[in-house]
Amino acid sequence: MTSEFDEDTAVPEDGAITLTGRWDGSGGVVNGGYQMAVCAKALARVMPHPDPLVISGFFLRSGSPGPATVRTEVLRAGGSLSFGAATLAQDGEDTVRATAAFSRPGKQNGLLFHGTAMPALPPPDDCVIVYPEPGDESPIDQRIDVRAPELPGWLRGQPSGTPAAEFWLRFADGSDADIFALPLLVDAAPMVVRELDGHGMTVELTVHLRARPAPGWLACRSLTRHVAGGYHEEDFEIWDSAGTLVAQSRQLCLFWR
Amino acid sequence: MTSEFDEDTAVPEDGAITLTGRWDGSGGVVNGGYQMAVCAKALARVMPHPDPLVISGFFLRSGSPGPATVRTEVLRAGGSLSFGAATLAQDGEDTVRATAAFSRPGKQNGLLFHGTAMPALPPPDDCVIVYPEPGDESPIDQRIDVRAPELPGWLRGQPSGTPAAEFWLRFADGSDADIFALPLLVDAAPMVVRELDGHGMTVELTVHLRARPAPGWLACRSLTRHVAGGYHEEDFEIWDSAGTLVAQSRQLCLFWR
């Protein structure tokens, strides 16, 4: 069975795709991470290396469900690294400009140093289900299964004042995330500035793809350190079921409350 | 008097510049942050907004001192944000691809939340001079003045095993950093993986420019959290003399020792 993610990110050779509404946030706006995943998959068609290593996307305009095109450009085909750019457009206007480096699949060797550990969470079955909720209005919340030791404060009507969260994550259809799903997943959960009663809109998102994820639940950590001058950053880490850090991301967002 | 930084990053209308060797690291390779600053200044000529807000650069090839050209492209001229791309090329080959969002100068209003504080350092005059050192072989180390409570372990031949550092930084010629200098300065100090006896080469660097820096010394924090699979990331924060977070960066690097 093809997963919802694979269905919605399949890019044909001519780059003409349809962005589905299945990954929309509550405002009917297509999720930025979903569009980044589409760009990464389009680039994979033309890059000499198989795996995205780092991808940065700038969100020029909001995307909406419907027809779109992806144009790709190989910037450099090198021996161990290759570089490319992908531009997503709708109705003749560019909506996302992504740039990426691709490489061979990551190796789990060499010196390992971890200044932060994998989030220490109870097993998913001992956690509460944060999403999907019955009656939830946001399509993306129906596509991801999020489990945490307790409901976040803002969902209980009591924002904690601490913009941070740790939780389990997987696709709600039970499919396992591959490396191309990681740019979507780092952007799939609500922003942790909700704990400051805040909201945000992403200007730029950079994702480091540190390894291909093993099957199973993904342990996530989301954190905002600085809200100032109308902007905030959000950092996101994803660790796979084998305990490997597979994605590390940062986004810069417009902030409001 | 024109500062060394302003001299070396002045981009004429036709985009033809000369990359100087004054910002080279020890291997005779032009510093990546310096090239990002050149791209930001080239974009400033064509963008409708004055200040870079976020810039991401991919390093396709090593740069070397000598003639170069910068091509710019306005991706979107919006009301509150504009987007552009800059490509640096030498000898007919692209070396850096940068993408940026520009905006109006940052406002220091709205909710402020800081999960990490400005580094708590003794006054610069009570610190030791890390750079410049007499006899230092690396040009960039002669261009920046770095003060810290004590010399870093790796410079004393005793790598600490903790890839982190906090220090004061300013240009050695006494000039104050403007917002365009920040992409250079986040990349100007040696990588903190030296404390693991490690070295690195930048694949991608993203810099958030959170505000224009006030004159004076800049307080910096550099930190690597994850070395794995032959790569590491490095985070860098710069706080100005007024206590404002002015830059926050992350780079992904090839790691070796």
**pLDDT digits over A187-226, tens only?**
999 999 999 999 999 999 999 999 999 999 999 999 999 9
Per-residue pLDDT tens for A96-131?
A: 999 999 999 876 656 689 999 999 999 999 999 997
Please report where in the chains the tokens 């969470």 appear, as a residue: A121
Considering the entire predicted model, what is its pTM?
A: 0.97
Q: Is residue A134's pLDDT more than 70? A: no
Whether A207 and A159 have beta carbons less than 8 Å apart is answered as no
Interface residue A104 vs chain B (CB under 8 A): no
Q: How far is CA B80 from CA A29, A116, A203, B50, B53, in A?
A: 19, 37, 11, 11, 11
Mean pLDDT across B193-209: 96
Per-residue pLDDT tens for B144-193?
A: 999 999 999 999 999 999 999 999 999 999 999 999 999 999 999 999 99
Mean pLDDT across A44-50: 97
Mean pLDDT across A232-247: 96
* CA closest to B102 among chain A residues: A203
Asked if A116's CB is within 8 angstroms of B226's CB, the reply is yes
Interface residue A194 vs chain B (CB under 8 A): no
Q: What is the ipTM of this complex?
A: 0.96
Q: Residue A133: what pLDDT?
A: 66
Q: Residue B242: what pLDDT?
A: 93
By CB atoms closer than 10 A (0-12, 13-18, 19+), residue A22 is: middle
Asked if B109's CB is within 8 angstroms of A227's CB, the reply is no
Could you give the residue ranges of the DSSP H alpha helices within B4-82?
A: 4-8, 32-44
Q: Residue A98: what pLDDT?
A: 98
Tell me which residue of A30, A15, A19 sits closest to A70, measured CA to CA.
Answer: A15
Q: How far is CA A178 from CA A143, A240, B191, in A?
A: 15, 11, 31
Could you give the residue ranges of the DSSP H alpha helices within A9-144?
A: 32-44, 139-143
Q: Is residue B248's pLDDT more than 80? A: yes
Q: Residue A3: what pLDDT?
A: 96
Neighbours of A234 (CB within 10 A): 23
* CA closest to A74 among chain B residues: B60
- A positions 197-216 inside 8 Å of B (CB): 198, 203-204, 206, 208, 210-211
By CB atoms closer than 10 A (0-12, 13-18, 19+), residue A29 is: middle
Interface residue B127 vs chain A (CB under 8 A): no
Q: How many angstroms separate the CA atoms of A208 and B193, rounded? A: 18
Per-residue pLDDT tens for A146-161?
A: 999 999 999 999 999 9
Q: Residue A25: what pLDDT?
A: 83
Per-residue pLDDT tens for B95-107?
A: 999 999 999 987 6
By CB atoms closer than 10 A (0-12, 13-18, 19+), residue B16 is: exposed
Token code pair at residue A142: 């129906």
Per-residue pLDDT tens for B5-58?
A: 999 999 999 999 999 999 998 777 899 999 999 999 999 999 999 999 999 999
In chain A, what residues touch B227 (CB-CB under 8 Å)?
110-114
Say how many residues make up chain B.
257
Asked if A116's CB is within 8 angstroms of B233's CB, the reply is no
Q: Rounded to a whole number, what is the distance in Å from the CA of A215 to chain B's nearest CA?
A: 19
* More confident site: A136 or A7: A7
